[in-house]
């Protein structure tokens, strides 16, 4: 739980401010989950502070919420394409990905249960970035990530907007996004190494390596 809050500080997610009587303050809660591998063995314990986004009001707290998500068929096609062209696929997991997405509306949340500031117990947090549970959080993260990839000369696919490709002289690098999980591969493995370094410089990663298990596959 403390590590989750440390992530908030590193990403400058929020700022403690006096409570405003005329503005909605969204409650928060802790969510705990065990992450398992392909054998069902618990490999990681995850803790997430989540905003109770069902209290948000449209046009006041958020506007557009739609964000594209890769279909399982698209993942299968990428696996088949990599296999037929004989190149490796790699996986990276962006740590607390939604905390990287910027939000435009003023959103306030209650202090986390069990971690209230003793000196300012009635203060609330004003968000500068998206928090898990907010209706606009997935879209904010997708826009941040896609903007970063496009600024690094990637081209977004017109049919599948979660697929990005970067062309080199005789090679290419292909990237498939599934929310905060990213699959990537190239006909030149050195391009994958460069991409991993580029992403690690911009975002904090919790998992990187050759793809062996993904979405039950």
| Cβ(70)–Cβ(160) below 8 Å | yes
40-94 tens-digit pLDDT? 888 888 888 988 876 555 555 555 556 777 888 888 999 999 999 888 899 988 8
User: The pTM is what?
Assistant: 0.74
Half-sphere exposure of 152 (CA within 13 A, CB side): 18
**3-class SS shares of the chain: helix, strand, coil, % to 5:** 25, 30, 40
151-194 tens-digit pLDDT? 999 999 888 889 999 998 888 999 999 887 889 999 888 888 89
Q: Domain locations in the chain? A: 2-210
pLDDT value at 35 more than 70:
yes
Sign of torsion over alpha carbons 138, 140, 143, 147? negative
| Cβ(199)–Cβ(205) below 8 Å | yes
Say how far apart CA 169 and CA 171 lie, in whole Å: 6
């Amino acid at each position: 739980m403390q590590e989750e809050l440390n992530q908030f500080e590193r990403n400058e997610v929020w700022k403690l401010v006096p409570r405003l009587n005329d503005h909605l303050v969204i409650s928060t809660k802790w969510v705990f989950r065990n992450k398992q591998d392909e054998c069902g063995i618990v490999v990681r314990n995850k803790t997430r502070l989540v905003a109770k986004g069902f209290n948000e009001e449209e046009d006041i707290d958020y506007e557009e919420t739609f964000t594209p998500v890769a279909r399982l068929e698209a993942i299968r096609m990428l696996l088949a394409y990599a296999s037929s062209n004989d190149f490796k696929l790699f996986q990276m997991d962006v740590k607390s990905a939604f905390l990287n997405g910027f939000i435009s509306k003023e959103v306030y949340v209650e202090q986390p249960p069990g971690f209230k500031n003793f000196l300012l117990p009635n203060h609330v947090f004003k968000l500068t970035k998206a928090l898990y549970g907010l209706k606009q959080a997935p879209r904010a993260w997708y826009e941040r990530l896609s903007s970063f990839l496009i600024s690094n000369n990637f081209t977004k696919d017109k049919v599948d907007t979660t697929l990005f490709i970067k062309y080199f002289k005789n090679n290419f690098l292909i990237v498939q996004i599934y929310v905060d999980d990213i699959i990537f591969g190239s006909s030149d493995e050195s391009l994958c190494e460069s991409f991993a370094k580029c992403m690690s410089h911009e975002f904090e990663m919790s998992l990187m390596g050759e793809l062996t298990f993904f979405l039950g596959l």
